[in-house]
Structure 1
Amino acid sequence: MSTGKVRFEALDALRGLAILMMVLSGTIPFEGALPGWMYHAQLPPPQHVFNPDWPGLTWVDLVFPMFLFSMGAAIPFSFGGRMDRGTTHAKIAGHLIWRFLGLAVFAVVSQHLRPWGMDAPDFVKWLLALLGMALMLLVFASPAKGWAVKYSFLIPLTGLVLTIVFLGLMGIEGVRDFSLKSFDIIIMVLANTALGGGILYLMFRKWHQALWVSFALLTAFFLSARDGNNWMSNIYDWSPVPWLVSWNYLKYLLVLIPGIYTGIVCRNALQNPDIGSRQEKTGNARIAFGILLAGIALVVVSLLGLYARKMELSFAITIVLTVGLFLLLKEWRSFWRPVFVKLFPVIVVLIIGGYLLEPLHGGIKKDPATLSYLILTAGLSMVLLLAFVVLNEEFGLKGLMFILIGSGKNPMMAYVAGSNLVIPVLALTGMESLLYFDEMPVVSGMVKAIIITLMVGIISALAAQKKFFMRV
C-alpha cells in the first residue's frame, strides 16, 4: 500500500458546499422575509426568536454537522500518510495540540475583527474589517510556494504581534473591548472536536475498535447528561476552562467519528493498487444517476419531513429510498462500489437510528443538540459525500465544481472572506447599493446574498489554485 499523499476531491467539494452554505445562511434576508425552512428551525420567522422547544430540521441546520463530518473524514488523509512514513504518535499529538491552540486563537481573533461588533462609523468599520482581514492573512496564511515560504515562521509571528497591538488600540479607542470569552462558537467547537477526533484516530491506529467503542460510550454519556440534574450531568458541565474546553463542544464527536471512519475506508481504497483504476470507464451511467437521485432524495425527504413534522410518512419514504439506494449500489460497476457497500451499514444505522431516536427530548433539535440530530446529520452527510463521488468520479464534473472544491481546500479563508473582505469592499465601493431595489427588497436581498457567497467561493478557490491557504 502506498504511503504517498492522497487528495479526495469529492470530500473537498462536500466541505466547500458546507462552508459556502454557512456564508449564504448568514447573509440571506431576515425579519420574516423568507419561509421558515430558509432559517434555523428553532429561529422561525418573523421575529427569529430562539425557541428551544421547537423541533425540526432545515438545510441551515445541516451545514454545521456536514462541515464537522468533512473535517472528521479529512483526519486520516491529514495524519495517515505521516504515520505511515514513521512520524511518531508524540509528534502527531504535539501537532494536534498546536492546531487546537491555533484554532482557538482564530476563534477569538476572527470574532473581534468582524465589522458588526465594532462601535464606529460605517466607513471606519469597513476599513477596520479590511485591515483585520490583512492581519488574519499574516497570522494564518500558509503559502505552499514562493518567497513567503522562506519566512513561514517570521510572517505569522509578526502578524500575531500586530494583531495584538491592533486589538489593544481598538479597545483604547472604544471601538471594541477585548475579551478571551468573546469568540466564534463554531470555530471553538471545531477546535475541540479536531483535538478529540485526532486523539481518537491515534487510538484507532493502535486499536481498531477504538472509534466505535468511543462512539458508544460518548452516546451513553450524552444521554445520561441530557436526562436532567444528576452526577453525570455534573461531570458533563465541569471544565477547568469552560469557554475553551467543554464536553458540550465535544458532543459533536458523534458526528466526527462516522466521518473519521469514512475517511479511513476511502483512504485505504484510494491507496490500494489491487482495487483497480479510479479512471476506469464503467459504462454504468444510468445506475450512477439513480444513485445520485436516490441520495439527494434521501436528504430532501428528511429535511422536508422533519421540518413539516410528517414523521411517519418521511420515515416510510426514507426506508424505501434506503433499500433502493442499496440495490443500486450492488449493481454499480465502479471503483467506488466496494467502498460504499462497506460504508452502507453505517449509513443505515445513522439515518434509520436518527429517526428511531427522533422522539427523544421533544423531537430533533439543533440547540441543545439531540442525539437524533447528531447521528442523522452524520448519516445524511455520508450520503451527500456519495453524491459528490458520483458527480466527480462517474460524471467527471470536477471542472464545474471548481468553486466548491477550491473552497473546500481553503475553508478558513472562505469563512472570513465574506465578513472581512467581500462585504466591506461592496460597501466602500458603493456596489452594495446597486444590488438593492426598493420595489423588491426580499429578492434583492437574496441576490446580494448569492453574489456574496459566489464571490467568497471564487476568492477562496482562486487562492487555493495559487497554493495560498489559510491554515493553523
Structure 2
Amino acid sequence: GTIAGDLILKWLKQTHDDRELSRGKGRYAVLAILMILSVVVVLAGLQSRHVFLTFLICSGIALAAISITLKPQSSTEKLIRQFVLWGGYWLILGLLFEPFEGGIKKDHSTLSYYFVTSGLAFYLLTFFTLLIDGFKKQKWVNLLILNGRNPMIAYVGMANFIWPILYLTGIKNLAAGIFSTPWTAFIWSVIETILLALFVSALTRKKLFWKT
C-alpha cells in the first residue's frame, strides 16, 4: 500500500497533459486482459492445488506484461509500468513461498498470502488505471468507486443490513429453495453483492461514511 501510494502521489503531481496513453491502446487492452487473467489463474490454480502450473502461467503473464510496458513515455504509462513490475515481483515471490508454511492461508496468514495478494492488488490497480485513466471508462466502474470510498460499510453491510432485511422479509428462505444448485447459488450470491453495492453507493452519495 505504501509503495502504491507513493507512486500514485508522484503521478498526481504530473500535469494532466502528460497522462494520456502515447501509444496504441490495443497493446494496453491486451495488458488489461492479462491483469484480470492473472487473478483468475491464481484463484483457480491455487484452489485446485496446481501450484507449479500456476507459477509457470503467472511467470509468462508477468513477462508479457513487462514487455508490453517497455519504454513508457507519458506519466500514466510510467505509473502502469511500475505497477506491473511491482505486481510481478510480489506475485512471483508469493508463489515461490507457496509450498512453505502448509500452503497459502489467510488464517493464520502466511508469507505467501501477503506476497500473492500484494501482487494481485498491483495487477488490479493496473487494470483500473488503464480502464479509468487510459481508456476514460470511469462510468463503467462508478459503482465500485462509490463502494471504495466507503469500505467499512461495504465490509459489514452484508451481515448487518442486507442479510437481516432478507431474513425479515422471508426472501432469504425463499431464495434458499430456489437457488439450490451450485450455479444458481452463485447467481444468488451475485444478486446479494449487487444489493450491497447499491446500498453502499447510496450512502456514499448521501455523504454518509463510516470511518475508523
For the aligned pair, the TM-score class normalised by the smaller chain equals 0.7 to 0.9
1:323 to 53, 63, 74: 63
Give distance in 1, aligned partners of 2:50 and 2:172: 40
**Within the alignment, does 1:276 sit opposite 2:55 as a pair?**
no
**Within the alignment, does 1:406 sit opposite 2:146 as a pair?**
yes
Distance 1:362 1:392, change over 3 A: same
Q: CA deviation at 1:344?
A: 4.0
Once the two structures are superposed, what CA deviation does each residue of 1:2-58 show, in whole Å capped at 9, x if it has no partner? xxxxxxxxxxxxxxxxxxxxxxxxxxxxxxxxxxxxxxxxxxxxxxxxxxxxxxxxx
2:47 paired residue number: 307
1:441 paired residue number: 180
**Within the alignment, does 1:391 sit opposite 2:131 as a pair?**
yes
What pairs with 1:184-203 in structure 2 (closer than 5 Å)?
none
Aligned with 1:399: secondary structure? helix
**1:326 alignment partner AA:** I
Q: CA deviation at 1:334?
A: 4.8
Distance 1:418 1:281, change over 3 A: same
Whether the aligned pair in 2 keeps the contact of 1:414 and 1:460 (CA below 8 Å) is yes
Give distance in 1, aligned partners of 2:45 and 2:35: 15
**2:40 alignment partner AA:** V
Q: How high is the sequence identity, in percent, across the aligned residues?
A: 29
Distance 1:344 1:403, change over 3 A: closer
Aligned with 2:69: secondary structure? helix
Moved more, 416-425 or 381-390: 416-425
Whether the aligned pair in 1 keeps the contact of 2:105 and 2:113 (CA below 8 Å) is yes
Q: CA deviation at 1:469?
A: 1.2
What pairs with 1:147-166 in structure 2 (closer than 5 Å)?
none
Give distance in 1, aligned partners of 2:176 and 2:111: 42
**1:260 alignment partner AA:** T
Q: CA deviation at 1:333?
A: 5.9
1:7 paired residue number: none
Give the TM-score normalised by the residue count of structure 2: 0.86
Whether the aligned pair in 2 keeps the contact of 1:407 and 1:461 (CA below 8 Å) is yes
Distance 1:301 1:426, change over 3 A: closer
Whether the aligned pair in 2 keeps the contact of 1:265 and 1:339 (CA below 8 Å) is yes
User: More relative contact order in 1 or in 2 (CA 8 Å, sep 6+)?
Assistant: 1
1:358 paired residue number: 98
Q: CA deviation at 1:398?
A: 1.5
Distance 1:311 1:395, change over 3 A: same
Q: CA deviation at 1:452?
A: 1.9
Distance 1:349 1:406, change over 3 A: same
Aligned with 1:365: secondary structure? coil
| Structure 1: tracts of 5 or more residues without a match | 1-258
Q: CA deviation at 1:325?
A: 0.1
2:199 paired residue number: 459
**Within the alignment, does 1:337 sit opposite 2:100 as a pair?**
no
Q: CA deviation at 1:389?
A: 0.9
Give distance in 1, aligned partners of 2:60 and 2:121: 19
Structure 1 residue ranges (4+ consecutive) displaced by more than 4 angstroms after TM superposition: 331-334
Whether the aligned pair in 1 keeps the contact of 2:95 and 2:112 (CA below 8 Å) is yes
Whether the aligned pair in 1 keeps the contact of 2:83 and 2:125 (CA below 8 Å) is no
2:31 to 291, 299, 310: 291
**1:321 alignment partner AA:** I
1:431 to 151, 171, 176: 171
> Relative to total residues, which structure has the larger helix share, 1 or 2?
2
Aligned with 1:336: secondary structure? helix
Once the two structures are superposed, what CA deviation does each residue of 1:236-295 show, in whole Å capped at 9, x if it has no partner? xxxxxxxxxxxxxxxxxxxxxxx111111111111233x7343x3646220111111111
**1:276 alignment partner AA:** D
Distance 1:331 1:437, change over 3 A: farther
Give distance in 2, aligned partners of 1:448 and 1:352: 34
How well do the aligned residues superpose, as a CA RMSD in angstroms?
2.4
Q: CA deviation at 1:429?
A: 2.7
Distance 1:315 1:444, change over 3 A: closer
Distance 1:451 1:308, change over 3 A: closer
Once the two structures are superposed, what CA deviation does each residue of 1:79-134 show, in whole Å capped at 9, x if it has no partner? xxxxxxxxxxxxxxxxxxxxxxxxxxxxxxxxxxxxxxxxxxxxxxxxxxxxxxxx
Aligned with 2:209: secondary structure? strand
| Structure 2: tracts of 5 or more residues without a match | none
**2:2 alignment partner AA:** I
Paired positions, count: 211
Whether the aligned pair in 2 keeps the contact of 1:364 and 1:372 (CA below 8 Å) is yes
